[in-house]
Structure 1
Amino acid sequence: MSKLQKGVHGWCTNETCFGSPSATPRTAPRRRSWRALLAGFAAACMIVPAVGAELTAVVPTVKRSVVGVGTFERTRSPSTVFVGTGFVVGDGLSVITNAHVVPEKLDETRMEQLGIVTSDGDTVRFRPAQLVARDNEHDLAHLRLSGPPLPALKLGDSDSVAEGQSLAFTGYPLGMVLGLHAATHRATLAAITPVVMPSLSSRKLDVRQLVQLQRTSYDIFQLDGTAYPGNSGSPVYDPASGEVWGVINAVFVKGLKETAISAPSGITYAIPVKYVKNLMQQK
């Protein structure tokens, strides 16, 4: 071990000296080497992985499978309207979205069609689809396309997801207000919670909650990310692999729907993807 001594040039070891601007030429090169070594060590400590690098690689792939869900009516202006988001799964001809995004009834007299909306640059394209299954309890719908398949997302295992995990979701916030430009948001799985929100007293139970209480309760994902009404039906996925773990269902909004735009709560709910798998088995 080096011994520390005080000399005319400052404090020294038997290897180099510090603290003196008047070091002899013999010690100056060694002092510069020592400082260079310290500077290199400090720089190495500052090298950290780029935050979000994995999500940057996954987003382009996910966006190819995300579509708008709406209707087309030739005599309407605009003829194509979409109000929610969907994503392609399976063989590339199945689209999953929320049940409340799909109209209960189409205007057959005006030849209104259900379908998906995609964008090719500045061109918006409508593609007809058939509703093949609807799960109102879990607010899910399965649409079926005809023609060439689209890139599909892989469904993951939602039972393996744990609280605290990082998530991402991609969709169309506010629907046509912002145009057909898919946006991606990061989120954390804040809680796995029952779908029925508990009331403080029986006086605060409304009809919707009473109906829900008659059904079998199930757990949903509570996210700390902010979603908007147009995000309904967006895929919630693993930022590293792109595997889908859930479907954006509803934004926790206090008051009127407009509050979701002016003062979003930052709390969003998602339906676990295992219910999507059950839905796709229905004919």
Structure 2
Amino acid sequence: MKKVKILVFGILTTLFVLSFGIVNADYQSPIVNVVKAAAPAVVKIDVVVQTEVYIDPFIREFYKQFFGDIPRQFEESDSVGSGFIISKEGYIVTNYHVVEGAKKITVTLLNGDTYDAQYIGGDEELDIAVIKISPKKDLPVIELGDSDKLQIGEWAIAIGNPLGFQHAVTVGVISAVGRKIPKPDGSGYYTNLIQTDAAINPGNSGGPLLNIYGQVIGINTAIINPSQAMNIGFAIPINTAKRFINQIIATGKVEKAYLGVYVQTVTESLAKSLGLKVNKGVYVAQVEKGSPAEKAGIKEGDVITKLNGSYVELAEELTSLVRNYTPGTKVKVTLNRAGKEITVEVTLGTFPTQKTGSTAAKEFLNLKVSNITSDDRNKYKVPAGVEGVIVKESQNSYIKVGSVIWRISVNGYSYDIKDINSWNKVVENIKKGDYVGIFYYYNGVRSVFSLRY
């Protein structure tokens, strides 16, 4: 009886298929072809990060009196991200935050081949980095597309390693372009981002966002907290990365552009008090002499509303947008001058701290500093009255990037810090055993960090 039932079911199934047919029987999604072409060039990046454990200087000094100096303490942690191969020589593009501070980087290809990778360089602000492997054989390479031609609603395909699950594929559309989101440390904004609803999760960072032609249109970099919203992810436009990749490969760094204006976000109270004709934009409080802005005719009192077609509403946003370009790039700046909209073309200059011939700052206490520029004041909200040197790199849990060091005391004697020259004169004379106080300004607060050197 059981065999009869199975036979009857089979006959009915055959009759159903013959009667109605299979819908789209020969159809294959074009996404399958994209994955076949692109996935071999997408890699998994495993990173081991070694960080120094911070020991309070007061505890260190107390311990030292009885037992001698405390040896430096380190701890290791693991993380995973994604990347994509852009050349047969083994260069791989990823996010800076994926490989930041890496002690060891291991790359795994789709076929299972693994390589030790070398960090070539990158930039924290842009969140772009390049690493390199030494290939044993020909490597698959991914094609870079044109993110300036994106249209809202077109297909978006993400390939990466979410939560360590290798080469996972998600599909969605381009939800929006030109998005901005605040950086986690509050130092500014990621600007001009691509928004997509293709699912992006931790581990996807650094992986490619592809169009339907299998070309990279973005670098997956951030998501909205899943507890707040679902499937809202962001990618750095590939055209932004293309401006800097060759620089990174050649020098390990990026040369950023600068405009040369001191600006403030236009608020309702600012607009009313100054009689501005717009209630959104960035007010130009001062134009640096000889700067690209001055040469282009931008004046004090102007309100910048757009840069290359992207709306500008916050001072920090303007700074981030400018730094998405390289020196020598011509951009169109739209501004409102006494109620009249004007567009000027500006040839962006070299970021002042990177000009050749400038005095190099001596590193002290793992702090790397530079002279303060107008862009720094805008980005880190440093008032005009605060002078000193600004911290660009720090491994100190108290003195953060963006802090302005304005005074140093050594064994009870205080020295004002005005620029790199005065900084160098002080720190190069500090000797082992000296008592040192670092006076600094950060986020509206003046503080002091003290230690015995």
* Aligned equivalent of 2:127, options 130, 139, 144: 139
* Aligned equivalent of 2:199, options 216, 219, 226: 226
* Aligned equivalent of 1:115, options 106, 126, 148: 106
After superposition, the Cα gap between the structure-2 partners of 1:272 and 1:207, relative to the gap in structure 1 and judged at 3 Å, is closer
Tell me the distance in 1 between the aligned counterparts of 2:122 and 2:163: 23
Question: Does 2:45 correspond to 1:69?
Answer: yes
After superposition, the Cα gap between the structure-2 partners of 1:268 and 1:137, relative to the gap in structure 1 and judged at 3 Å, is same
In the TM superposition, residue 163 of structure 1 has moved relative to its aligned partner by 1.2
Question: Does 2:168 correspond to 1:183?
Answer: yes
CA deviations over 1:148-169 (Å, ceiling 9, x no partner)? 4410001011101111111111
Tell me the distance in 1 between the aligned counterparts of 2:152 and 2:237: 13
Bigger Rg, structure 1 or 2:
1
Aligned pairs for 1:5-20 within 5 A: none
In the TM superposition, residue 225 of structure 1 has moved relative to its aligned partner by 1.9
User: Helix, strand or coil: the match of 1:281?
Assistant: helix
Tell me the distance in 2 between the aligned counterparts of 1:225 and 1:207: 22
Aligned 8 A contact 1:163 1:191 in 2: yes
In the TM superposition, residue 174 of structure 1 has moved relative to its aligned partner by 0.6
Higher-RCO chain (CA-CA 8 Å, sequence separation at least 6): 1
Tell me the distance in 2 between the aligned counterparts of 1:207 and 1:69: 22
User: Helix, strand or coil: the match of 1:277?
Assistant: helix
Aligned pairs for 1:202-281 within 5 A: 208-209=185-186, 211-212=187-188, 218-239=191-212, 241-253=213-225, 265-281=230-246
* Aligned equivalent of 1:97, options 94, 97, 100: 94
Amino acid at match of 1:267: I
In the TM superposition, residue 105 of structure 1 has moved relative to its aligned partner by 4.3
Aligned 8 A contact 2:89 2:135 in 1: no
RMSD: 3.1
Tell me the distance in 2 between the aligned counterparts of 1:224 and 1:249: 13
In the TM superposition, residue 65 of structure 1 has moved relative to its aligned partner by 0.6
Aligned pairs for 1:43-62 within 5 A: 50=27, 53-62=29-38
Tell me the distance in 2 between the aligned counterparts of 1:96 and 1:136: 14
Tell me the distance in 1 between the aligned counterparts of 2:181 and 2:170: 25
Tell me the distance in 2 between the aligned counterparts of 1:191 and 1:140: 21
Q: Which segment drifts farther, 153-162 or 52-61?
A: 52-61
Tell me the distance in 2 between the aligned counterparts of 1:228 and 1:129: 23
Amino acid at match of 1:189: I
After superposition, the Cα gap between the structure-2 partners of 1:157 and 1:119, relative to the gap in structure 1 and judged at 3 Å, is closer
Amino acid at match of 1:208: D
User: Helix, strand or coil: the match of 1:279?
Assistant: helix
Runs of 4+ in structure 1 deviating by more than 4 angstroms, as ranges, are: 46-49
CA deviations over 1:174-233 (Å, ceiling 9, x no partner)? 12xx3xx31111111111133235xxxxxxxx9833x215xxx63110111221101111
Tell me the distance in 2 between the aligned counterparts of 1:134 and 1:236: 20
In the TM superposition, residue 92 of structure 1 has moved relative to its aligned partner by 4.8
After superposition, the Cα gap between the structure-2 partners of 1:67 and 1:208, relative to the gap in structure 1 and judged at 3 Å, is same
In the TM superposition, residue 171 of structure 1 has moved relative to its aligned partner by 0.8
After superposition, the Cα gap between the structure-2 partners of 1:165 and 1:49, relative to the gap in structure 1 and judged at 3 Å, is farther
Tell me the distance in 2 between the aligned counterparts of 1:87 and 1:127: 14
Tell me the distance in 2 between the aligned counterparts of 1:166 and 1:57: 14
After superposition, the Cα gap between the structure-2 partners of 1:142 and 1:207, relative to the gap in structure 1 and judged at 3 Å, is closer
Aligned 8 A contact 2:45 2:107 in 1: yes
After superposition, the Cα gap between the structure-2 partners of 1:49 and 1:192, relative to the gap in structure 1 and judged at 3 Å, is farther
* Aligned equivalent of 1:172, options 133, 158, 161: 161
Structure showing the higher strand proportion among its residues: 2
In the TM superposition, residue 72 of structure 1 has moved relative to its aligned partner by 6.6
Aligned 8 A contact 1:82 1:117 in 2: no
Q: TM-score, normalised by structure 1?
A: 0.63
Q: Percent identity?
A: 26
Aligned 8 A contact 1:251 1:268 in 2: yes
Tell me the distance in 2 between the aligned counterparts of 1:221 and 1:232: 14
After superposition, the Cα gap between the structure-2 partners of 1:246 and 1:232, relative to the gap in structure 1 and judged at 3 Å, is same
After superposition, the Cα gap between the structure-2 partners of 1:82 and 1:61, relative to the gap in structure 1 and judged at 3 Å, is farther
Aligned position for 2:309? none
Aligned 8 A contact 1:128 1:145 in 2: yes
Tell me the distance in 2 between the aligned counterparts of 1:49 and 1:192: 35
Amino acid at match of 2:33: A
| Runs of at least 5 residues in structure 2 that lack an aligned partner in the other structure | 1-19, 50-76, 251-453
Q: Which segment drifts farther, 129-138 or 80-89?
A: 80-89
Aligned length: 202
Tell me the distance in 2 between the aligned counterparts of 1:235 and 1:269: 11
After superposition, the Cα gap between the structure-2 partners of 1:54 and 1:92, relative to the gap in structure 1 and judged at 3 Å, is farther
Tell me the distance in 1 between the aligned counterparts of 2:207 and 2:174: 15
After superposition, the Cα gap between the structure-2 partners of 1:138 and 1:48, relative to the gap in structure 1 and judged at 3 Å, is farther
Tell me the distance in 2 between the aligned counterparts of 1:264 and 1:173: 18
Tell me the distance in 2 between the aligned counterparts of 1:151 and 1:140: 21
